[in-house]
């Protein structure tokens, strides 16, 4: 499985943000823009918390396993792979969602006619962006925790063919 690439996640964030900003401006000119849900940052924060708890649990179990502590509970490789896959999917979706709410938040802040009425919506959008960034950061941390020692930049397929 390939590592998470920060430029790809940033690209998804920027493209989604620009598209969401354009659609929000168009939608607002044709009518009224739908409200940013209060649950958006809450759900993203819960996902970030679950990823962080998983990463910390796996890190302590892997450390105990490496140091051969008596009674250390091992880590099932499939469980670690599923955790990393969950982190990858969460990071991609969170960067997309954060970009969308970032674009909507910028559109809300740029419209001076409805700025006081939409201030809460812009705050919820900003919190969603922050929570999305937290999901991406914890997913990258989880990936680093589950990295195998022999995975240190050996992406050259010709090297394994020669061995």
Query: Rounded to an integer, what distance in angstroms lies between the CA atom of residue 33 and that of residue 19?
Result: 15
Q: Are 104 and 33 in contact (CB under 8 A)?
A: yes
Query: Rounded to an integer, what distance in angstroms lies between the CA atom of residue 125 and that of residue 80?
Result: 32
Residues 49-60 have pLDDT tens digits of 999 999 998 888
Q: What is the CA radius of gyration of the chain?
A: 20
Query: Rounded to an integer, what distance in angstroms lies between the CA atom of residue 41 and that of residue 106?
Result: 16
Written as six digits, the tokens of 121 are 């919506």
pLDDT above 70 coverage of the chain, percent: 85
Written as six digits, the tokens of 105 are 């938040």
Residues 102-147 have pLDDT tens digits of 999 998 888 766 656 678 888 999 999 999 999 999 999 999 888 8
Kindly state the greatest CA–CA separation across the chain: 67
C-alpha dihedral, 45 to 41 to 131 to 28, nearest 10°: 160
Written as six digits, the tokens of 49 are 């918390």
Query: Rounded to an integer, what distance in angstroms lies between the CA atom of residue 43 and that of residue 41?
Result: 6
- Model pTM greater than 0.75? yes
By CB atoms closer than 10 A (0-12, 13-18, 19+), residue 52 is: middle
Confidence band, pLDDT 50/70/90 cuts, at residue 160: very low
Query: Rounded to an integer, what distance in angstroms lies between the CA atom of residue 79 and that of residue 6?
Result: 24
């Amino acid at each position: 499985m390939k590592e998470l690439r920060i430029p790809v996640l940033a690209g998804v964030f920027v493209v989604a943000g620009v598209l969401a900003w354009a659609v929000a401006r168009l939608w607002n000119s044709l009518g009224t823009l739908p409200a940013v849900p209060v649950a958006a940052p809450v759900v993203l924060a819960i996902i970030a918390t679950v990823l962080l708890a998983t990463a910390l649990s796996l890190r302590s179990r892997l450390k105990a396993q490496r140091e051969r502590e008596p009674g250390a509970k091992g880590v099932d490789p499939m469980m670690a792979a599923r955790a990393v896959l969950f982190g990858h999917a969460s990071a991609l979706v969170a960067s997309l969602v954060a970009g969308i709410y970032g674009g909507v938040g910028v559109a809300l802040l740029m419209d001076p006619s409805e700025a006081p009425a939409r201030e809460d919506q812009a705050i919820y959008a900003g919190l969603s962006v922050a929570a999305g960034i937290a999901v991406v950061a914890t997913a990258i941390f989880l990936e680093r925790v589950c990295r195998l020692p022999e995975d240190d930049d050996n992406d050259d397929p010709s090297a394994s063919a020669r061995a």
